[in-house]
């Protein structure tokens, strides 16, 4: 050990002597590092505590303040976090977090606060920021909204309403609509809009609805109830009972209504569809029967009926029996006319018969009391 010390001392002496010779300084310095005589260079600057945050803004929500800020320089510090302290006319509050914003809860309703932010680190805390502007928290929950009207849907109701005149000193965050009947209490429906729909109502039950608003303090009062209404659905399907051929090119469709499902039926629509290329036709009416016109000559049709109420349309009825659209016979051809005593005997060839509307018999026809001859083919 003593010998090693002597060698290191002698080497150091040689290094000191050699450094006086300028041409060898760089070489000697490297050699000195290699044998551990000279340590590495120290950092130019050591880490320090962070700078104070700036631009602190507190935003109230109920009994809380959301505090936003701009962090200051960390100055190389490690483990940086932030602490917010809010003080004022009510109980003080504080909270910590890794960045902006930080929410401080449990403050006093209706009280006024300012907040400061401090950066925390392993190297120590920053100075406190400048305080935020004073902010007053909400005093109460909001007042009651007003129901403007209701619209029935299929086992549902849409409630339209207006915001309360008093929001309690805090922004309204949402609304909830509740509809109740004597035997049914569906869950409230919540949302931010001014129109909400409650579904899964029991058809035939009588309901009323109310709505309340919510802010950061809590739920406000319920509105006055809506008008009473009976939950309803679209009608049941009608049943076709008969289809009758009507000249020209028409079918008369008779049917019995289905259930109105607690909302009056406002009308019916009959649709006749051809199975062999005829044009589909539709006709609406308020009751049975309904005649569908302008069907295609000699084409075969089946017809269905749909009922409507204020909720919507029923399923289609059963299809009618297939029926051909009736047509008028074509024009006959007169073959001769024979004058008699005050009469004319006319012979003619009938039109070709159709299965839908047979033509009349082709026997000669006699017109009596003909006063004079007329042009051929005309009796007057």
Least confidently predicted of 124-128, 163-167, 175-179, 374-378? 374-378
Q: Give whole-number Cα distances, 348 to 93, 353, 377, in Å.
A: 112, 15, 10
Token code pair at residue 291: 């005649």
The pLDDT of residue 14 is 46
The pLDDT of residue 350 is 80
pLDDT in tens, 1-30: 444 444 344 444 444 444 444 444 443 343
Residue that wins the pLDDT comparison between 271 and 32? 271
Instruction: Kindly report whether the global pTM for this prediction surpasses the value 0.75.
Output: no
Question: Percent of the chain beyond pLDDT 70?
Answer: 79
Say whether pLDDT at 165 is over 80.
yes
Q: 169 falls in which pLDDT band (50, 70, 90)?
A: confident
Q: At what angle do helices 25-34 and 2-18 cross, to 10 degrees?
A: 160
CA distance 35 to 29: 10
Q: For domain 54-136, give the fold.
A: Immunoglobulin-like (2.60.40)
Q: 45 falls in which pLDDT band (50, 70, 90)?
A: low
Quickly tell me which residue has 């006699």 as its tokens: 366
CA distance 179 to 161: 14
Say whether pLDDT at 378 is over 60.
no
Q: Give whole-number Cα distances, 311 to 9, 54, 186, 266, in Å.
A: 106, 59, 20, 10
Q: How many C-beta atoms lie closer than 10 Å to residue 66's C-beta?
A: 17
Residue that wins the pLDDT comparison between 152 and 1? 152
CATH 3.20.20.450 applies to domain 239-324 = no
- The DSSP bridge partners found for residue 368 are 343
Burial 214-229 (b: 16+ CB within 10 A, else e): bbbbbebeebeebeeb
DSSP code of 377? T
CA distance 146 to 159: 10
CATH code for the part of the protein at 146-230: 2.60.40.10
pLDDT in tens, 272-326: 999 999 999 999 999 999 999 999 998 999 999 999 999 999 999 999 999 998 6
User: What are the boundaries of each domain within the chain?
Assistant: 2-34, 54-136, 146-230, 239-324, 333-368
DSSP 143-203: ---EEEEEEEEBTEEEEEEE--S--TTS---EEEEEEEESS--PPPEEESSSEEEE--PPT
The pLDDT of residue 39 is 47
pLDDT in tens, 182-222: 989 999 999 999 999 999 999 999 999 999 999 988 999 99
CA distance 71 to 121: 13
Report the pLDDT averaged over residues 37-64.
80
Burial 23-53 (b: 16+ CB within 10 A, else e): eeeeebeebbeeeeeeeeeeeeeeeebbbbb
- The gap from C-alpha 339 to its chain's centroid, in whole angstroms, comes to 84
pLDDT in tens, 73-123: 999 999 999 999 999 999 999 999 999 999 999 999 889 999 999 999 999
239-324 matches 146-230 in CATH topology: yes
Report the pLDDT averaged over residues 361-367.
49
The pLDDT of residue 327 is 60
Q: Give whole-number Cα distances, 51 to 92, 117, 126, 364, in Å.
A: 24, 11, 5, 122
Integer-rounded Cα radius of gyration of the chain: 49
Half-sphere exposure of 175 (CA within 13 A, CB side): 27
The answer to whether 380 and 369 have CB atoms below 8 angstroms apart is: no
User: CA nearest 110: which of 140, 134, 85?
Assistant: 140
């Amino acid at each position: 050990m003593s010998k090693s010390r002597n060698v290191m001392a002698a080497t150091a002496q040689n290094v000191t002597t050699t450094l006086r010779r300028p041409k060898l300084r760089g070489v000697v310095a490297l050699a000195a590092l290699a044998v551990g005589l000279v340590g590495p260079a120290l950092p130019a600057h050591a880490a320090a505590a962070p700078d104070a945050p700036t631009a602190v803004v507190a935003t109230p929500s109920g009994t809380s303040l959301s505090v936003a800020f701009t962090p200051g320089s960390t100055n190389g510090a490690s483990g940086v976090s932030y602490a917010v302290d809010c003080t004022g006319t009510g109980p003080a509050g504080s909270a910590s977090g890794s960045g902006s914003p930080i929410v401080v809860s449990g403050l006093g309703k209706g009280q006024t606060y300012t907040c400061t932010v401090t950066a925390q680190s392993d190297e120590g805390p920053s100075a406190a920021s400048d305080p935020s502007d004073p902010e007053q928290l909400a005093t109460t929950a909001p007042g009651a909204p007003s129901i403007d009207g209701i619209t029935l849907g299929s086992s549902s109701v849409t409630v339209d309403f207006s915001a309360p005149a008093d929001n309690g000193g805090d922004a309204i965050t949402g609304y909830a609509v509740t509809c109740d009947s004597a035997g049914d209490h569906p869950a409230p429906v919540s949302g931010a809009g001014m129109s909400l729909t409650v579904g899964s109502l029991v058809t035939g039950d009588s309901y009323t609805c109310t709505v309340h608003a919510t802010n950061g303090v809590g739920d406000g009062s319920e509105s006055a109830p809506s008008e009473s209404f009976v939950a309803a659905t679209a009608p049941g399907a009608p049943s076709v009972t008969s289809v009758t051929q009507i000249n020209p090119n028409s079918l008369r469709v008779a049917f019995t209504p289905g259930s109105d499902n607690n909302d009056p039926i406002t009308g019916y629509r009959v649709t006749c569809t051809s199975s062999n290329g005829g044009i589909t036709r539709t006709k609406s009416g308020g009751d049975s029967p309904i005649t569908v016109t302008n069907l295609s000559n000699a084409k075969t049709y089946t017809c269905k009926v749909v009922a409507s109420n204020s909720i919507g349309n029923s399923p289609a009825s059963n299809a009618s029996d297939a029926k051909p659209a009736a047509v008028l016979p074509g024009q006959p051809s007169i073959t001769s006319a024979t004058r008699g005593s005050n009469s004319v005997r006319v012979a003619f060839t009938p039109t070709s018969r159709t299965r839908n509307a047979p033509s009349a018999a082709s026997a000669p026809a006699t017109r009596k009391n003909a006063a004079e001859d007329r042009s051929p083919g005309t009796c007057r």
